[in-house]
Amino acid sequence: MPHSVSPKRNDDEAMPDASAETGGIKLEDMFNDDENDEFPASSAPDVKMESPPAPEIAEPPAPAPSGVDTDVMLAFYQRLFPFRYLFQWLNHGIVPTRDFGNREFALTLQNDAYLRYQSYTTADLFRKDILKMNPSRFEIGPVYSTNPRDRKTLRGGQMKPVSKELVFDIDLTDYDDIRTCCVKANICAKCWAFVTMAIKVIDTALQEDFGFEHILWVYSGRRGAHAWVCDPRARNLPDDRRRAIAGYLEILRGGSQSNKRVNLKRPLHPHVLRSLDILKHSFAQTTLGDQDTFLSEEQAERLLALLPDQNLNEALRKKWGASPDRPSTSKWADIDALAKTGKSSTLNPVTLRDAKQDIVLEYTYPRLDAEVSKKMIHLLKSPFVIHPGTGRVCVPIDARKADEFDPLSVPTVMNLLAEIDAYDAEHPVGTAEVEVPDGEGSAMNGSDIKGGRKLQDYEKTSLKPYVDYFRSFIAGLLKEERAGKRDREGTAPAPKPDPMEF
Amino acid sequence: MIRQDAHRIDPKRRATIDHKKRQFATPTYKQQDYPYRLNLYDTPPTAEITLEQFEQWAIDRLKILAEIEACSYRNKTPAETAAHITPLLQKFLPLSSNTSAPSGAADTRLKNERQKDHYSHFILRLAFSATEDLRRRFARAETMLFRFRFQQDDSRERRAFIDSLNLDWEPVGDGEKNEVAENLVNSTPGLRRVDDETWYKVDWEKVPELVERRTVFLRRGKAYVPGREQLSMIIAEFTARLERALELTSRALPRLDEDDRLTPILNHLSKNFGSAESVYSEGEGYVDGAPITASSIDQLSQHFPLCMRSLHMNLRKNNHLKHFGRLQYTLFLKGIGLSLEECILFWRQSFKGKTDDEFNSQYKYNIRHAYGDVGGDVNRRGRGYPPYSCQKILGDANPGIGQTHGCPYRHYSVDNLVGLLQATGVHDKEVLRGVREDVGKMRYHIACNRVFEWSHKGEIKKVKDDGTWSQTDLDTIVHPNTYFKRSYLLKQMTQAPRDA
């Protein structure tokens, strides 16, 4: 597959308003790639391909051009990053298995070098290497049939991807033509509503239609969200089945040059009906209300182009032309009002209703980056890493409470570190519990000291609810894994003695 | 290859494999008696056939598969394909139903037909399992053939065949059926009443085609499939089994215990699986002596087919193209003979808004990769990827929001397409009407060729009249680079005589 090999820049450009908090981020230079529609990873991970020339040993990190410098990053990995849970999540158990050992990680180093095919046998080694390399971010790829680090010793085509979570990617740049509040990398609460709708629709479909239960939604750090479907059945799907799901969920078809992007046959499929039901309110509130999408003449014209009847359109155009500032809600109501007056003899009420349904979908239905979902080998940014542009942590989103999630209140790494300091200042501790600065003392930042339990650093911060949610998610997943393993009786890989104490 | 000594054979296998004895033993498999016309090709043939039969049968089947593939490359509709294939099948690979002979499946003629079908399939499996590409194409063509025959099959026989397969389908009970009746009707196009159908519940993974088209009701991981959609399930089953079997065959191939009688035939067969896809060979799009540099692209773009021309116009308009657009265009430029250095220069100059650093870190690598200058060994040896054919461009994923790649005839709405054509100087009403018609019938090639013929009508007439170009030189264009080369040569031709 001829594609680029650069790391996936799926997340977003520098967000200017974030610089206030993180101290003058100049990341535009690094990440203002507007190519977030690209799926280099879907391509890059062609197993036969080699990673771009990248130094095997990390260069002494050049100062990152952002408030999130290398020291901050390192402190984050040492004190806050939930390595233990990330390991359990990918390993589907406590004892290290192939699920983790043969999993590809791709590290973006501080000097922008990109290291693919990294893998780790245990959580401990994983943490050690991340601390050593101090990547600005890293991505998670599939589990391979062999250890990805051994790929060069194998003959071509012998290393095959065997499983990966089914993933979805939603990004607000795909909504640029229908959001009026922000463009490109910027977001506000008004346009985040589109992501919330998308989460609801996709989450419901995955659960009710496909029967998936373990769906982890993650904030991408700037202007999007990722879903990781972790059910064993989803992880083992071959690419053509992934493509089928992506096709099932895709309703908007066509690029910038196709006029009407929703063209559904009637009767509507139950999935579409249900989605329409979920989206109707959002359309009224977000599209017509908050966004006031059809306010401008240009957007109103686009709306007319989607309506079926010429005579009705003429009447509407005349009416709207007379009052240029007519809000979207009124314009939307005008459609029915004028239709009822019977001005147009050619108008078919059923066609009009269908067209209106299509319009609701065109303006609210999730715009998925479908390529991401179609390939097992696609890499996706790990949860809990820092978005280098905003400094925000890629925290999980509880889909049941998707409405409450506010991307602008997601903690930044700087906040979190300050919170630890504030907490420690308020709760002075005995010398026995003082952190050893080299990070070894905080080993696995999850070390419970028997007796008086020492508070872990993340628990001192506003990251705690997110880590707690992640833990409960993993607990649910592991429970099913264990049940599944009992069913299969003894097919579980023989556990190796684990040096790590959990 | 590591050869193991005989005494180091895995003890578990030793008891069953003694190939020297096995070679001359009478086959212990059950003789196939072909009770049904259709075959999932699970059991390999065991009887003896002559070398001539071996070759002839394989060639006959190959003819059919090549034709089927060609039809799909030309975007023929199922009806057109059926019309094209039926006489060929009758001639090369007839396969009659049980009702066509008085004694049914026991008839000798039917037996022979089915034997030929069975054997030729397995011979071609051997020939086409060697590389991934061949396997994929073979599986695709075989699946199409199977689908075609399945649809032609007599309904009673089809039922008997399906019953013999023992597939894991759970019938939906009446209570459950009534409960979800409305959903069933809504998700099944063309169905009025639920009771018109028998319904089965299967894991959705078994019917990916239906899921992808959203024409089946899903609930908690189960698909509710109407009886008439059995086709989809059977096809999926057929493809899955064939792909698995081809994979196994390819692994067994190096150990094919054979004298030198079969291998040459097999090699010959696999080489002759010609198709539209492989028609394009490296360097074919080059035009000798044409000045092709970064600065001449603007001027040359008048010879580009619409897909590339619209990319070029978009690039000039936005000073940017998204990834797949860049890729499609870069490969095309490579195909017309633009050198890597010039190509990098071209993109550098085109991306006006980008700094050198941005360009080098974000785009340059991809261009070099497309030229095979970097990347894995395989990529470098193959000198990057070949320029996309129409087939590839038409068949790839639809361009998403904001993307500009693809084929305008296929991916633009008709009005935008016509607008684009007019912007490129195609004003003739008759041509535009023809294009609308072609696009409506999904004949994108024809539409593109129609435009080509119109815009070069003078030149084409001339070369035809003076006989410098034969009909084959003016065959239907199925590759953007062919479009460019032909367009360029035709225009040169009519200007050249003055110089010459």
Residue B243 shares a structural domain with residue B221: no
* Enclosing H/E stretch for B201: strand B199-203
DSSP 8-state assignment for residue A57: S
| pTM of this prediction exceeds 0.90 | no
Residue B101 shares a structural domain with residue B244: yes
SS3 state at B293: coil
> Which tokens hold the place of B378?
């395989």
The Cα B406–Cα A447 span in angstroms is 54
Q: Supply angle C-alpha B71, B143, B81, rounded to 5.
A: 25
Whole-number pLDDT of residue A165: 96
- Name the pLDDT band for B377 (thresholds 50, 70, 90): low
> Would you say residue B307 lies in a domain?
yes
The DSSP string of A29-49 is HHH----TT--HHHHTT-TTS
Could you read off the pLDDT of A224-244 as tens digits, one per residue? 999 999 999 999 999 989 999
> Would you say residue B27 lies in a domain?
yes
Last residue of a domain, one of B234, B251, B283: B234
Window B:218-257, CB contacts with A under 8 Å: 218-222
Whole-number pLDDT of residue A430: 58
> Which tokens hold the place of A288?
């017509």
> Which tokens hold the place of A322?
């007379």
Instruction: Give the pLDDT mean for B95-112.
Output: 82
Which of A41-50, A67-76, B313-322, B447-456 bottoms out in mean pLDDT, i.e. has the lowest? A41-50
Q: A280: Cβ–Cβ under 8 A, 6 or more apart, which residues?
A: A360
Residue B157 shares a structural domain with residue B122: yes
CATH of the domain at B134: 1.20.930.80
Residue B341 shares a structural domain with residue B462: yes
SS3 state at B260: coil
The Cα B402–Cα A175 span in angstroms is 10
Residue B2: Cβ within 10 Å count: 3
Contact A416, A72 (CB under 8 A): no
> Which tokens hold the place of B389?
């054919």
The Cα B251–Cα B124 span in angstroms is 16
Residues belonging to the binding site of B for [4Fe-4S] cluster are 307, 390, 407, 448
Residue B105 shares a structural domain with residue B245: yes
Residue B302: Cβ within 10 Å count: 14
> Would you say residue B287 lies in a domain?
no
Question: Burial code of A61-90, b = ≥16 C-beta within 10 A, e = fewer?
Answer: beebbbbbeeebbbbbbbbbbbbbbbbbbb
> Which tokens hold the place of B274?
């010609």
Whole-number pLDDT of residue A46: 40
A143 by Cβ neighbours in 10 Å (0-12 / 13-18 / 19+) ranks as buried
From first CA to last CA, the distance across chain B in angstroms is 60
Is A52 in CB contact (< 8 Å) with chain B?
yes
Window A:138-197, CB contacts with B under 8 Å: 156-157, 174, 176-177
Could you read off the pLDDT of A73-104 as tens digits, one per residue? 999 999 999 999 999 999 998 999 999 999 99
Task: Output the average pLDDT for chain A.
Answer: 80
- Name the pLDDT band for A160 (thresholds 50, 70, 90): confident
Q: Is the pLDDT of residue B227 over 60?
A: yes
Could you read off the pLDDT of A239-264 as tens digits, one per residue? 989 999 999 999 987 665 667 788 88
* Enclosing H/E stretch for A307: none
Angle at which helices A189-208 and A270-282 pack, to 10 degrees?
A: 160
Mutate to test the interface with A, among B210, B211, B417 (most CBs of A within 10 A): B211
**Percentage with pLDDT > 90 across chain A:** 50
Instruction: Give the pLDDT mean for A258-280.
Output: 88
Residue B331 shares a structural domain with residue B254: no
Instruction: Give the pLDDT mean for A356-365.
Output: 92
Closest chain A residue to the Cα of B219, Cα to Cα: A209
Q: How many domains does chain B have?
A: 3
Whole-number pLDDT of residue B382: 67
Q: Is the pLDDT of residue B439 over 90?
A: no
- Name the pLDDT band for A45 (thresholds 50, 70, 90): very low
* Enclosing H/E stretch for B170: strand B170-171
> Would you say residue B298 lies in a domain?
yes
Query: B404, A3: Cβ pair inside 8 Å?
Result: no
Residue B374 shares a structural domain with residue B314: yes
Contact A105, A120 (CB under 8 A): yes
Catalytic residue among A11, A13, A38, A104, which? A104
B218 contact residues in A (CB cutoff 8 A): 209-210, 248, 271
> Would you say residue B337 lies in a domain?
yes
- Name the pLDDT band for A453 (thresholds 50, 70, 90): low
Is B320 in CB contact (< 8 Å) with chain A?
yes
Instruction: Output the CA–CA distances (angstroms, integers) from residue B236 to B135, B137, B227, B248, B460, in the order listed.
Output: 16, 16, 15, 18, 46
B357 by Cβ neighbours in 10 Å (0-12 / 13-18 / 19+) ranks as exposed
Window A:224-283, CB contacts with B under 8 Å: 233, 237, 240-241, 243-245, 247-248, 252-260, 265, 267-273
The Cα B321–Cα A38 span in angstroms is 11
Q: Would residue A169 show up in a list of annotated catalytic residues for this protein? A: yes
B219 contact residues in A (CB cutoff 8 A): 208-209, 211
Question: Burial code of A281-297, b = ≥16 C-beta within 10 A, e = fewer?
Answer: ebbeebbbbbbbbbbee
Whole-number pLDDT of residue A443: 43
The Cα A233–Cα B355 span in angstroms is 46
Closest chain A residue to the Cα of B180, Cα to Cα: A270
Strands B170-171 vs B199-203: parallel, antiparallel or unpaired? antiparallel
Residue B206 shares a structural domain with residue B254: no
Amino acid (one-letter) located at A483: A
The Cα B56–Cα B288 span in angstroms is 42
Domains of chain A: 16-251+368-409 (3.90.920.10), 270-364 (no CATH)
> Would you say residue B97 lies in a domain?
yes
Contact B368, B269 (CB under 8 A): no
Residue of A412, A380, A384 lying closest to A468 (CA atoms): A384
Task: Output the average pLDDT for chain B.
Answer: 81
The Cα A157–Cα A142 span in angstroms is 15
B375 contact residues in A (CB cutoff 8 A): 5, 49-50
Sole residue written with tokens 């060994």: B377
Residue B460 shares a structural domain with residue B364: yes
Whole-number pLDDT of residue A448: 42
> Would you say residue B430 lies in a domain?
no
- Name the pLDDT band for A486 (thresholds 50, 70, 90): low
Whole-number pLDDT of residue A157: 66
Domain hosting B214: range is 170-234
Instruction: Output the CA–CA distances (angstroms, integers) from residue B263 to A266, B54, B126, B267, in the order listed.
Output: 55, 12, 9, 6
The alpha-helical segments, DSSP class H, found in B340-389 are 340-350, 356-359, 365-370, 377-381
Residue B307 shares a structural domain with residue B398: yes
> Would you say residue B94 lies in a domain?
yes
Residue B306 shares a structural domain with residue B224: no
A243 contact residues in B (CB cutoff 8 A): 208, 212
Could you read off the pLDDT of B171-206 as tens digits, one per residue? 888 888 888 888 888 888 877 777 777 888 889 988
The Cα A268–Cα A262 span in angstroms is 12
The Cα A283–Cα A289 span in angstroms is 8
Name which of B211, B357, B411 is nearest A258 (Cβ-Cβ): B411
Q: Which residues pair with A139 in a beta bridge?
A: A106, A381
The Cα B199–Cα B207 span in angstroms is 14
Q: Is the pLDDT of residue B285 over 80?
A: no
Q: Supply angle C-alpha B404, B409, B415, rounded to 5.
A: 90
Q: Higher pLDDT residue, A120 or A34?
A: A120
Mutate to test the interface with A, among B218, B238, B310, B329 (most CBs of A within 10 A): B218
Which of A117-131, B31-45, B294-308 bottoms out in mean pLDDT, i.e. has the lowest? B31-45
The Cα A4–Cα B334 span in angstroms is 16
- Name the pLDDT band for B444 (thresholds 50, 70, 90): confident
SS3 state at A390: coil
Whole-number pLDDT of residue B381: 67
Q: Is the pLDDT of residue A438 over 50?
A: no
Q: Is the pLDDT of residue A14 over 60?
A: no
Residue B344 shares a structural domain with residue B476: yes
Which of A245-249, B11-15, B316-320 bottoms out in mean pLDDT, i.e. has the lowest? B11-15
Name which of B132, B362, B397 is nearest A371 (Cβ-Cβ): B397
Which of A305-309, A442-446, B154-158 bottoms out in mean pLDDT, i.e. has the lowest? A442-446
Query: A4, B187: Cβ pair inside 8 Å?
Result: no
Whole-number pLDDT of residue A29: 41
Instruction: Give the pLDDT mean for B441-470.
Output: 85
